[in-house]
Amino acid sequence: MSDNKQITGLILAGGQGQRMGGVDKGLQMFRGKRLVDHVYERLAPQVGGIIINANQNHDAYKTFGVRVVSDAIGNFAGPLAGLHAGLSVSRRPYLATVPCDSPFVPEDLVERLMARLNASGAMIAVATTGGRPEPVFCVVQSSVLESLTVFLKSGGRKVYDWYASLPLVEVDFDDQAEAFRNINTREELEGLEQDRTAVTAAAIHAKPPAPAASAAVGAVAAPPGGALARVVSCMDDYDPNSLKVDKAREVIRSLLTPIETNEKVAVRAALGRVLGADIISTLDVPAHDNSAMDGYAVRHADLNEAGETELRLAGSAFAGRQFAGKLGKRECVRIMTGAVMPRGLDTVVIQEIVQVEGDRIRIPAGQKKGQNRRLAGEDLAAGKPVLKTGQPVGPAELGLIASLGLAEVAVRRRLRVAFFSTGDELASVGSKLKPGEVYDSNRYTLYGMLSRLNCDIIDMGVVRDDPASLEHALRTAAADADAIITSGGVSVGEADFIRELLGKLGEVVFWKIAMKPGRPMAFGRIAHAGNEAHFFGLPGNPVAVMVTFYQFVRDALLALSGRSDDFALPLLQAPCTSSIKKNPGRTEYQRARLARDARGAWSVCPTAAQGSGVLRSMAEANCFIVLEHERGSVKPGEPVQVQLFDGLV
């Protein structure tokens, strides 16, 4: 399967709708919702994020909380102009396009196009039906932008002319040609509206109208207007130059605005996502009273209280095959685990204690009424909430959802997180180091940690330490992301122009946190182009990046993603094998290994090197020893608090 996080979906809605009388086609109603809603619902699960190209009515398209872009070249110049606009703002390596007037987009469109693109090494994969290309159902490598720009600049407008200049592979979709139907005229729209069987794929996949999409909270361009200042001014003992870890967490938590936009995904695709709505049981599970054991189903009232009872065997019941006969008094049924309890019988006697002679069985005294019987609805009762909005979907939740027969679930859209490293000394992996340079490793640890959190990642590379580059990067990120994470550039000396810059874009505070490692950190919100993003400026030191991410950013991102459960990391207790020197007055995070000794007892041992630049110590460790703010030195054997990496992100 292709990694859909690598793919931007582009909905082409930039046309004039001439054949429909000059209306905006994407906004026309069809089967209870707008055409663009149909397209969005089908495309969203196939890609990592969506951009809409539209040249009018932007507000109407913004209901999805995604970026809406106009053509850069004017006059409704056609789909290539839309593709150009999408490629110019997309930051993923691939882009998949679909037109807004094709409501039946195949559900495996992108996957099949990507598979062929990768296998062939081509730059464009385009769908075909009946031997003819469907030119705007395609996946392109984002690097085609350069060639497209040149083509458009030279006056080219025709899709096929541009395609001819690049390595292209065609992918046959004859098996679902109907799904490529597009709607060009009012007659076609009305015709399809009436004839619900006209498009079989659509009939099969027809979904109830989506609830009105709530606008993404992150898309509200409210300049912070001092919200952060207000929070900190209400706090006693707020000292930005020596801020306690707990205080920093409190400030961060008070400024988070979780996303509320939902998308519908197939059950499997919900793994690792956050539920966007309560799941109410549609049925009783199990649906009928059934047997918990292999044995004999009996009527308890038939049994003698004092001695043995002899009953007549009237038939048998297996899982999936009910006993349908009529039962008289003192009759019983052979029953297997999971089989539906025959009508009138209420108790199961396990086979091991029953004596069988032909069609007669003898049951000892002492059977309890209702024993070994599972009641209908015992697991889930119809109409009762099973899972709550904001719960994370893990393997058990997937199974639970499937056990209700649901094929799709509403989940919160993924959190979009943009990140970049700052520093003139940073070199990219794969290049040769010049004197004074270091390789940029922070982007890799951040990539790893963000991937584990199932975020939609926007990797913006390395940004030089100059105001213009930083401003450009921050504005670009603020326009598109829910959260921005930077590393480096927030320590004393470096902070001055960044402070000014961030002040211009929003509201950000700079802290020295009373912790080791990872003291300097910036936090706030910045806005650009109608979007607002939470900002986390982490220190540059590689270990400090990881520690501050684990201690502050992880929880903030989980809250932003809409989680409503208690996701705080548990702290375990274990004896520390060696002494640790520490002064009260800051929280320390020692990298350590939690391990078992020969007798199976668990203890924790700090790793050798604890310098904040020593990433090796993170790799050697499997946990942090958390030494609390007020705590002094630790003696060997003393219990300490342990936070395991596994489960951190």
Binding site for Mg ion (CB under 5 A): 423, 488-489, 540
Q: Which partner from the list ligand AMP, Mg ion, none does 15 bind, CB cut-off 5 to 8 Å by kind?
A: none
Please choose which of ligand AMP, Mg ion, none residue 491 contacts, taking the beta carbon within 5 to 8 angstroms, the exact cut-off set by kind.
ligand AMP
C-beta of 167 vs 611, nearer to Mg ion: 611
**Nearer of residues 17 and 489 to Mg ion, judged by Cβ:** 489
Q: CB of residue 389 vs ligand AMP: minimum separation in angstroms? A: 37
Nearer to ligand AMP among residue 489 and residue 524 (C-beta): 489
Structure-token pair, residue 202: 């659509």
Question: How does DSSP assign 196-244, residue by residue?
Answer: TTSSHHHHHH--PPPPPPPPPGGG-----TTHHHHHHHT-TT--TTSB-
- Residue 445 binding ligand AMP, by CB under 6 A: no
128-155 burial, b at 16+ Cβ within 10 Å, e below that, comes to: bbeeebbbbbbbbbbebbeebeebbeee
d(CA 51, CA 67): 5
Phi, psi at residue 255, to the nearest 5°? -110, 5
Pick one of ligand AMP, Mg ion, none as the site partner of residue 564 (Cβ within 5 to 8 A by kind). none
Q: How far is the CB of 437 from ligand AMP (least distance, A)?
A: 9
Give me the least distance between CB of 581 and ligand AMP, in Å please: 24
Structure-token match 């094709």, residue found: 102
Number of residues that bind ligand AMP (CB under 6 A): 17
The CB density around residue 531, as the number of other CB atoms within 10 Å, is 21
Q: Nearer Cβ to Mg ion, position 276 or 489?
A: 489
DSSP state letters, 598-616: TTS-EEEEE-S---TT-HH
Show the CA angle centred on residue 619, arms to residues 614 and 622, nearest 5°. 120
Q: Which is nearer to ligand AMP, 199 or 502 (CB)?
A: 502
CB of 528 vs Mg ion, minimal distance in Å: 23
User: Which of 487, 551, 561, 590 touches ligand AMP by CB under 6 A?
Assistant: 487
CA atoms within 13 A on the CB side of 109: 33
**Helices (H) then strands (E): counts for the chain:** 17, 35
What is the closest distance, in whole angstroms, from the C-beta atom of residue 438 to Mg ion in the complex? Answer: 10
Q: Are 516 and 588 in contact (CB under 8 A)?
A: yes
Contact 430, 441 (CB under 8 A): no
Min separation Cβ 482 and ligand AMP, Å: 22
Q: In angstroms, what is the minimal distance from the CB of 253 to ligand AMP? A: 25
Stretch 593-612 residues interacting with ligand AMP (CB under 6 A): none
Least separation, in Å, of the C-beta of 422 and ligand AMP? Answer: 6
Using CB under 6 A as the binding rule, whether residue 291 contacts ligand AMP is answered as no
438 binds, among Mg ion, ligand AMP, none (CB under 5 to 8 A by kind): ligand AMP
Out of 421, 587, 617, 643, point to the residue binding ligand AMP (CB under 6 A): 421
Q: Which does 507 bind (CB under 5 to 8 A by kind): ligand AMP, Mg ion, none?
A: none
Contact region with ligand AMP (CB under 6 A), list: 29-37, 260-268, 317-325, 418-426: 418-426
Residue of the chain from 274, 426, 455, 522 that contacts ligand AMP (CB under 6 A): 426
Write out the two tokens for 74: 């004017």
- List CB contacts of 56: < 8 A, sequence separation 6 or more: 24
| Beta-carbon contacts of residue 48 (< 8 Å; ≥ 6 apart) | 4, 5, 6, 7, 8, 92, 414, 456
> Which range, of 99-107, 132-140, 293-301, 481-489, touches ligand AMP by CB under 6 A?
481-489
| Whole-Å CA distances, 641 to 154, 572, 573, 592 | 66, 6, 5, 11
Nearer to ligand AMP, 440 or 480 (CB): 440
Stretches 44-52, 216-224, 368-376, 487-495: which one binds ligand AMP (CB under 6 A)? 487-495
One-letter amino acid for residue 446 of the chain: L
CB nearer to Mg ion: pick between 135 and 423: 423
The verdict on 440 binding ligand AMP (CB under 6 A) reads yes
Q: Which is nearer to Mg ion, 106 or 540 (CB)?
A: 540
Question: What contacts 634, CB < 8 A, 6 or more positions away?
Answer: 576, 579, 580, 582, 627, 640
The one of ligand AMP, Mg ion, none whose footprint includes residue 258, by CB under 5 to 8 A per kind, is none
Query: Toward ligand AMP, which CB reaches closer, 210 or 495?
Result: 495
Nearest-approach distance from CB 437 to Mg ion, in angstroms: 12
486 in contact with ligand AMP (CB under 6 A): no
Stretch that binds ligand AMP, among 134-142, 357-365, 434-442, 525-533 (CB under 6 A): 434-442
3-state secondary structure of 510: strand
Q: Is 423 in the site for ligand AMP (CB under 6 A)?
A: yes
Burial (CB count <10 Å: 0-12, 13-18, 19+), residue 266: exposed
**Residue 643 binds ligand AMP (CB under 6 A):** no
Which CB atom, from 459 or from 494, has the smaller least distance to ligand AMP?
A: 494
**Min separation Cβ 487 and Mg ion, Å:** 9
Applying the rule CB under 6 A, the residues between 198 and 237 that interact with ligand AMP are: none
- Rounded Cα gap, residues 255 and 387, in angstroms: 27
Nearer to Mg ion, 123 or 544 (CB): 544
Q: Which residues from 506-545 bind ligand AMP, rule CB under 6 A?
A: 539-542
- 492 scored as a contact of ligand AMP (CB under 6 A): no
Q: Cα-Cα-Cα-Cα dihedral of 599, 601, 603, 608, to 10°?
A: 20
* E-strand stretches of 118-209: 124-129, 132-141, 168-172
DSSP secondary-structure letter at 620?
H
Helix (H) or strand (E) holding 471: helix 467-480
In terms of Cα–Cα distance, which of 496, 487, 619 is closest to 541?
Answer: 487
Tell me which residue has its CB nearest to ligand AMP: 540
Applying CB under 6 A, does 469 fall inside the site for ligand AMP? Answer: no
Question: In DSSP terms, which residues pair with 128 in a beta bridge?
Answer: 133, 172
- Distance of closest approach, residue 543 Cβ to ligand AMP, in angstroms: 9
Encoded amino acid at 261, one letter: T
Please report, as ranges, the residues that interact with ligand AMP according to CB under 6 A. Answer: 421, 423, 425-426, 438, 440-442, 487-489, 491, 494, 539-542
